Amino acid sequence: MTTLIAAPAPPRPAEHAVPWRPMARVTWLQRRGLLIGLSSLLVAAGLAIVVEHLVTHASRASLLANGGVDTNAFQALVIALNVLPVVIGVFVGAPLLSRELESGTFRFTWTQEIGRTRFVLTTVALLGVFTAAAACALGLILGWYAHPFEVIGVESQWQPGLFDVTAVTLGAWTLFALALGTFLGAVIGRTVTAMAATAVGVGGFVVVSFVFLVHRLLAVSPLVTSGVSPSGMGLGMLNVPGAVGTRPFGGWLVRSWLTGRGGGELSAPVANHALNRIEYGAKGSQDLTRLLALHHLTFWVSYQPADRLWIFQALEGALLIVLAAGLVLGTLCVVRRRA
């Protein structure tokens, strides 16, 4: 065999340095269409919120003046943003590795100098930063859009649904969805199946969060007060915003109950019966709290004060990010073992 002199190699980058810039270029080259499409979608969603808010501002003001408000468009937007993590998981996360595995191109990318672990990690990280930043921006815009509704007490960022699409939680949900999709793609190795599994997985988590998790989370260590009028608040599991005229404003009312003469809690049917009887007998502007006191009854609520909102937001966000990190680690294990 003839042996000739090989061309001198350029200096090698620092040991184990993560080549972020080259990988950003690779991610762009490999996923240009997806990134452009996704960016267009997110920008369109942001613009839609801004335009809707500005265009309907006047009519909303007049509705507010007349005591009524239309929240249909707002609700539709909240639902759409709740679906956003599913979209990210299905269209960005699931195909990320499953397409490489299915088409066999992993035999090209994983044998390049960068190595499979750094390739997967940097790609996920770059896409995570991009999608999470876009989701945070949308969450911020939605918060701005939601503010007038919050001021009049018809909507609250504490509500399940809205709670999951703030700048903090929507970004975290997006990271979680991306990580879950990537993990399922690595395990399943088939694009369509991985996309379907991700839709079910992320969608399931979103629904469970809406129905169950947020309620559970917000019931942790509430404050308790008896200085609230029971007027219009009902009994039992309230889970409503602290509406105007009802203190604590801007908080989240978790539960309400009545206590009797000895301080013991009345069962819900007994309490409702007593409350209805007293309300029925009340005349005009009589203070309901005072009437209750006359009957040796006290109305209590447990609630989360307004200033705890971002603590709970951070809690859910951290939980989702920890789950996402675990899924990324799991993905790396699968990728390393995949042979």
Partner 1 sequence: MNVVETSGLGKRYRKTWALRDCTLAVPAGHVVALVGPNGAGKTTLLHCAVGLSTATTGSVTVLGDLTAGSLDALERVAFVAQDAPSHRHLSVGAMVGVAANLNHRFDVEQAKARLAALEIPLHRKVGKLSGGQQAQLALALALARHPDLLVLDEPVARLDPLARHDFMALVVSAVAEEGASVLFSSHVVSELERVADYLILLAHGRVQMAGAIDDLLAGHALWSGPVDEAGAVSERLSVVQSQQAGRYAQLLVRTGTKAQAPSGWESVDVSLEELVLAYLRQPSVTTLPGPLNLMALSSTEVTA
Interface ranges with partner 1 (CB under 8 A): 1-7, 9-10, 12-13, 16, 19, 22-23, 25-26, 29-30, 33, 103-105, 107-115, 119, 337, 339
Give backbone dihedrals phi and psi of 193, rounded to 5 degrees, phi first.
-65, -40
Give backbone dihedrals phi and psi of 199, rounded to 5 degrees, phi first.
-60, -45
**In the complex, least distance from residue 44 CB atom to partner 1, rounded to whole angstroms:** 24
CA pair distance 226, 289, nearest whole angstrom: 9
Residue whose structure tokens are 């876009």: 134
**In the complex, least distance from residue 125 CB atom to partner 1, rounded to whole angstroms:** 16
CA pair distance 45, 33, nearest whole angstrom: 18
**In the complex, least distance from residue 36 CB atom to partner 1, rounded to whole angstroms:** 14
**In the complex, least distance from residue 132 CB atom to partner 1, rounded to whole angstroms:** 23
Rg of the chain taking only CA atoms, in angstroms: 27
Considering beta carbons, is residue 33 or 269 the nearer one to partner 1?
33
Considering beta carbons, is residue 14 or 311 the nearer one to partner 1?
14
Considering beta carbons, is residue 24 or 266 the nearer one to partner 1?
24
3-class SS of residue 245: coil
For residue 304 the two structure tokens come to 């989360």
**In the complex, least distance from residue 178 CB atom to partner 1, rounded to whole angstroms:** 21
**Which residues are CB-neighbours of 189 under 8 A, at least 6 positions away?**
97, 98, 101, 102
**What is the number of other CB atoms lying within 10 angstroms of the CB of residue 248?**
17
Residue whose structure tokens are 């993590």: 85
Considering beta carbons, is residue 25 or 57 the nearer one to partner 1?
25
CA pair distance 130, 122, nearest whole angstrom: 12
Considering beta carbons, is residue 189 or 201 the nearer one to partner 1?
189
**What is the number of other CB atoms lying within 10 angstroms of the CB of residue 305?**
15
Sort strands 298-304 and 252-259 into parallel, antiparallel or unpaired: antiparallel
Strand order in the sheet with 252-259: 223-225, 298-304, 252-259, 236-241
Does 248 sit behind a cis peptide bond, omega within 30 degrees of 0 on the bond before it?
A: yes
**In the complex, least distance from residue 126 CB atom to partner 1, rounded to whole angstroms:** 12
DSSP state of 232: T
Considering beta carbons, is residue 33 or 284 the nearer one to partner 1?
33
**In the complex, least distance from residue 11 CB atom to partner 1, rounded to whole angstroms:** 8
**In the complex, least distance from residue 181 CB atom to partner 1, rounded to whole angstroms:** 19
Considering beta carbons, is residue 19 or 248 the nearer one to partner 1?
19
**In the complex, least distance from residue 127 CB atom to partner 1, rounded to whole angstroms:** 16
* Closest alpha carbon to 228 in 213, 209, 208, 242: 242
Considering beta carbons, is residue 88 or 114 the nearer one to partner 1?
114
Task: Check: CB of residue 256 under 8 Å from CB of residue 233.
Answer: yes
Considering beta carbons, is residue 37 or 234 the nearer one to partner 1?
37
